[in-house]
Structure 1
Amino acid sequence: MQSHRGEWSSKIGFILAASGSAIGLGNIWRYPYIVGKNGGAAFVIIYLLIVVIIGLPYMLGELALGRSSQKNPVGAIGAIKPGSWWKGVGYLGVLTGLGILSFYGVIAGWTVGYVFKMFSGAPGNFAAFISEPVQVTLLLAFFIFITAAIVHGGVSGGIERWSKILMPILFVLMVILIIYAVSLPGSGAGLRFYLMPDFSKIDGNVILAALGQAFFSLSLGMGLMITYGSYVTKSDDLFSSAGYIVFFDSLIAIMSGLIIFPALFASGQDPEAGAKLVFVVFPELFMTMPFGSIIGGIFFILLSVAALTSTISLLEVPVAFLVDEKKFHRKRIVWVVAGIAFLLGLPSALSQGANDFFSNFGLIPERLADPDFLSQMSFVFGDFSLAFGALLLSIFIGWVWGAKAAAAEIAQGSRFFGKVFNIWVIMMRYVIPLSIFIILLNLFGLFN
């Protein structure tokens, strides 16, 4: 392996870094309100089944492509199909990572702001908070800076080292909050809603929601796992590593529900409160509880850590591309890319009431996304671009590279993959592309 690229120093380091990339606001902010809107426990069972049956096999495909080529998404595709238009799929992945980082950094900045607001005991008005231009700009800059400082340290010295610190912190904070939430009077109703399935609530929409959430929560479709897979040595067992990544990602999602639903039901709140759940409902909720400002502060530290483990990986995708393909020096190019992400993020930061033009940007129809710039970016990059990229990547891995060639790469260093070799080939060729195509159609409301 080229020495300037770096590699993971240990299997656990790779697993924690890749799990951290998958674990983010999607698990703790998006997952609970999707569960709340789709009937609770029955949705959770469908979600977990889809993660294992669809998400895990697809992730293996991306990891195999990365390890086989030892390159970023553009270089990996170019190595297998040189001079073809397929490289454009790699470029799409790099752009998607940068696009998501730009608006994700804004929301991540809000979580940092709320750490201080909660500890001060005055969470205030969320709408007023996000419409304050200087405040949201500084919070975005702060979060992008911290992200860049970690990626600047390299693969093992930066990303892996910090993942080994941040992931255990995340887990411990969640355990503290779960113990607190389930001890609240009236929390039993929340646990029943979340853990006791009512299968009569399952319909086509629930399955589609689970399919979309499973896919997006695993950070699939932008070549992130290709990039992380490219730092894995040939002797490592990709099959078991991917299993651990999916396990940790799902565990954190399940744990977030054990915090949120007991607390919601204990205070008589609606589990279908939607996206505002974390920033509006929860701060109000914490302030009615004993030690609420401390618990609220810990909750937002937890969100900030989860966001950081994701922004690190989002920045690494374009950085790896520029280091590999353009031979830039990592330590310099990290700050250039971070600066671009910050500038791209400014319209999103100012689109929540601080600036009329960006708050009512509205290029995409309102039935697909709210008119503010952040919501529009979220639809283009966080929804459409991810799903479209995943569809093209799954076709590339299954048919252009060839599912059998990919499976042979996964089998290298794995004791157990041989038993599911043929099943994986069928999944990668047929089931996974079809599933992603259904996600894409659903994005545009074709099943409503």
Structure 2
Amino acid sequence: MRDKWSSKLGFILAAAGSAVGLGNLWKFPYEAGSNGGSAFVLLYFIFLILIGIPLMLAALTLGRKTKKSVFGAYQSVDQRFSFVGALGVIGSFFLLAFYSAVGGWVLYYLKEALLNAFTTTNPDVLGLKFSELLNSPLELIMYQGFFMVLTTVIVLRGISAGIEKVSKIMMPALFIMIVIIAIRNLTLPGSFEGVKFLFAFDVSKINLDVIMNALGQVFFSLSIGIGTLVTYGSYLDKDDDLLSSSIIIPSIDTGIALLAGLATLPAVFAFGFEPTGGPGLMFITLPAVFASMPFGYLFSVIFFFLVFFAALTSSISMLEIPVSYFIDEKNTRRLPTTIVLAIVIMLLGIPAALSIGPTEAWKSFAVIGSINIFDVYDQFTSNVLLPTGGFLLSIFVGHVLGTDQAIEEIESSGVTFRLKGIWSILIQYIVPAFVGLIMLNSYYELLLTIIGK
């Protein structure tokens, strides 16, 4: 018998956890602050309503209607589109391969933060740990392995007993911790500059690049193109309300992204640091901020627990994609399937972890142009598979499955879809057009990276 969610709350928290990842904690706040503050946030909300929510509803509908893995979902409706599901399965391997390396960094920092909390009241050394970690191949592999073990243990327990149960604990805990950090940061002298950076309405910064950034942030934040939501949707009962879920999940994701801005940027500005985008904010800048803060050692522990929970709730969704495929399509058992796939992904991830570390043989091994293995995995999933998968999902639900069948599935739970006419137009024409722009822009950025511009 196929596993399923035991409650709507468990599903919503698990799906929101899959969307809330490491990128929410640094990328959204930085993107908002650098692209017009609340003007960017306003654009983000517009695109969330026009693109994110309709596409999420499409993914959940396809999953629940077919009750199959992402590959089986496409194949059962039209075999010609099986390759779209295959892209999702393949993409999950590479996405988790490099994501597990970053998850290993988080585990390492959490361990160091805990050690510092018990041995010193000065977490200043945390800011120096990143280079130390990257210069230790054994630790890079070891902590990546620990992270994969934790991910595997949760997934092998299944949907209701594993992913759902853990999400019910981690997501509320994540919310509480991010609120604690945000409140503490907002009490710091000079913190309002960070709030202004995040929310000041500066329409003069709005241009085509900012519009594309807002559009891309909506799409990538929800991680729709990789197949997670189709997979999670396949474990839903027929009486589950897809309409409310497709609104609540993006709302939680967006709310946590905004809270992440308040949990990082006010403190960064209060202590005179630059709000540098990228992992450097999380692993270098913020530890230095904690070092300057009263009781910083305590807040560093809370923060890295928060980051760890965000990383883990995303990684379990990535692993569930291929596990679901092999169970559904190859009739394998969950326990051995999960373990074998985790080992394969770990082996794929080791070169990615080492390629940004100290081993010159790995660092200098450029796979495409000047891109190392870690960046190849990142670029392949972020700039090729995710946007391509999202574009083809909208085309598939809008024109192959058809909006009439999709609406019938949505309303099968007893809800009345009052905006079905608008949704039909959006998913058939508007969403493919905008996601197509994201896809073409991603291809263009990848091309520039390959040729070194």
Same fold (TM over 0.5): yes
Unaligned runs of 5+ in 1: none
Which residue of structure 1 lines up, in the alignment, with residue 409 of structure 2? 409
What secondary structure does 1:257 align onto? helix
Deviation string 1:378-413 (CA, Å, 9 cap, x unpaired) is: 010133211111111211111111122112212222
Which residue of structure 2 lines up, in the alignment, with residue 112 of structure 1? 107
Aligned partner of 1:60 among 57, 60, 64: 57
Deviation string 1:330-351 (CA, Å, 9 cap, x unpaired) is: 1121111111111010011101
Whichever residue aligns with residue 300 of structure 1, its letter is F
Which residue of structure 2 lines up, in the alignment, with residue 321 of structure 1? 325
Contact 2:155 2:163 (C-alpha < 8 Å) held by counterparts = yes
Q: Matched residues in 2 for 1:263 and 1:42: separation?
A: 22
Whichever residue aligns with residue 255 of structure 1, its letter is L
1:429-444 maps to which residues of 2 (within 5 A)? 429-444=428-443
Q: Matched residues in 2 for 1:131 and 1:407: separation?
A: 54
The alpha-carbon deviation at position 374 of structure 1 amounts to 1.0
Whichever residue aligns with residue 434 of structure 1, its letter is A
Which residue of structure 2 lines up, in the alignment, with residue 400 of structure 1? 400
Whichever residue aligns with residue 266 of structure 2, its letter is P
Q: Matched residues in 1 for 2:170 and 2:284: separation?
A: 26
Q: Matched residues in 2 for 1:362 and 1:290: separation?
A: 44
Deviation string 1:42-99 (CA, Å, 9 cap, x unpaired) is: 2122112212220110011111111001001111111111xx3310111110111121
Aligned partner of 2:87 among 86, 89, 92: 92
Whichever residue aligns with residue 440 of structure 1, its letter is M
Which residue of structure 2 lines up, in the alignment, with residue 127 of structure 1? 131
Which residue of structure 2 lines up, in the alignment, with residue 191 of structure 1? 195
Which residue of structure 1 lines up, in the alignment, with residue 374 of structure 2? 374
Matched, 1:27 2:31: no
Unaligned runs of 5+ in 2: 117-122, 449-453
The alpha-carbon deviation at position 249 of structure 1 amounts to 0.6
Contact 2:101 2:140 (C-alpha < 8 Å) held by counterparts = yes
Which residue of structure 2 lines up, in the alignment, with residue 169 of structure 1? 173
> When the two structures are superposed, what TM-score results if normalisation uses the length of structure 2?
0.93
Which residue of structure 1 lines up, in the alignment, with residue 260 of structure 2? 256
Whichever residue aligns with residue 312 of structure 2, its letter is L
The alpha-carbon deviation at position 272 of structure 1 amounts to 4.0
The alpha-carbon deviation at position 353 of structure 1 amounts to 2.5
1:13-24 maps to which residues of 2 (within 5 A)? 13-24=10-21
What secondary structure does 1:354 align onto? coil
Deviation string 1:19-39 (CA, Å, 9 cap, x unpaired) is: 111111121132223223323
> When the two structures are superposed, what TM-score results if normalisation uses the length of structure 1?
0.94
Whichever residue aligns with residue 433 of structure 1, its letter is P
Q: Matched residues in 2 for 1:78 and 1:441: separation?
A: 26
Aligned partner of 2:46 among 45, 49, 67: 49
The alpha-carbon deviation at position 227 of structure 1 amounts to 0.6
Which residue of structure 1 lines up, in the alignment, with residue 119 of structure 2? none
Which residue of structure 1 lines up, in the alignment, with residue 451 of structure 2? none
Inter-CA distance 102–274: structure 2 relative to 1 (3 Å threshold): closer
Which residue of structure 1 lines up, in the alignment, with residue 6 of structure 2? 9
Indicate the RMSD between aligned Cα atoms, in angstroms: 1.6
Contact 2:19 2:221 (C-alpha < 8 Å) held by counterparts = yes
Which residue of structure 1 lines up, in the alignment, with residue 384 of structure 2? 384
Inter-CA distance 151–273: structure 2 relative to 1 (3 Å threshold): closer
The alpha-carbon deviation at position 414 of structure 1 amounts to 5.1
Contact 1:360 1:373 (C-alpha < 8 Å) held by counterparts = no
The alpha-carbon deviation at position 416 of structure 1 amounts to 4.4
Whichever residue aligns with residue 21 of structure 2, its letter is G
Q: Matched residues in 1 for 2:316 and 2:277: separation?
A: 29
Inter-CA distance 225–20: structure 2 relative to 1 (3 Å threshold): same
Contact 2:36 2:204 (C-alpha < 8 Å) held by counterparts = no
Q: Matched residues in 1 for 2:357 and 2:237: separation?
A: 48
Inter-CA distance 303–350: structure 2 relative to 1 (3 Å threshold): same
Aligned partner of 2:98 among 74, 95, 103: 103
Q: Matched residues in 1 for 2:396 and 2:31: separation?
A: 31
Whichever residue aligns with residue 411 of structure 2, its letter is A
Aligned partner of 1:234 among 227, 231, 238: 238
Q: Matched residues in 1 for 2:214 and 2:335: separation?
A: 39
Q: Matched residues in 2 for 1:394 and 1:71: separation?
A: 18
Between structures 1 and 2, the one with greater helix share = 2
Matched, 1:156 2:160: yes
Inter-CA distance 194–30: structure 2 relative to 1 (3 Å threshold): closer
Contact 1:25 1:307 (C-alpha < 8 Å) held by counterparts = yes
Q: Matched residues in 1 for 2:261 and 2:414: separation?
A: 33
Q: Matched residues in 1 for 2:36 and 2:113: separation?
A: 30
Contact 2:104 2:147 (C-alpha < 8 Å) held by counterparts = yes
Q: Matched residues in 2 for 1:273 and 1:342: separation?
A: 27
Q: Matched residues in 2 for 1:76 and 1:252: separation?
A: 30
Whichever residue aligns with residue 49 of structure 1, its letter is I
Which residue of structure 2 lines up, in the alignment, with residue 224 of structure 1? 228
Aligned-pair identity (%): 42
What secondary structure does 2:332 align onto? coil
Q: Kindly tell me the number of residue pairs found equivalent between the two proteins.
A: 438
Which residue of structure 1 lines up, in the alignment, with residue 120 of structure 2? none
Q: Matched residues in 2 for 1:275 and 1:383: separation?
A: 18
Which residue of structure 2 lines up, in the alignment, with residue 39 of structure 1? 36
Which residue of structure 1 lines up, in the alignment, with residue 424 of structure 2? 425
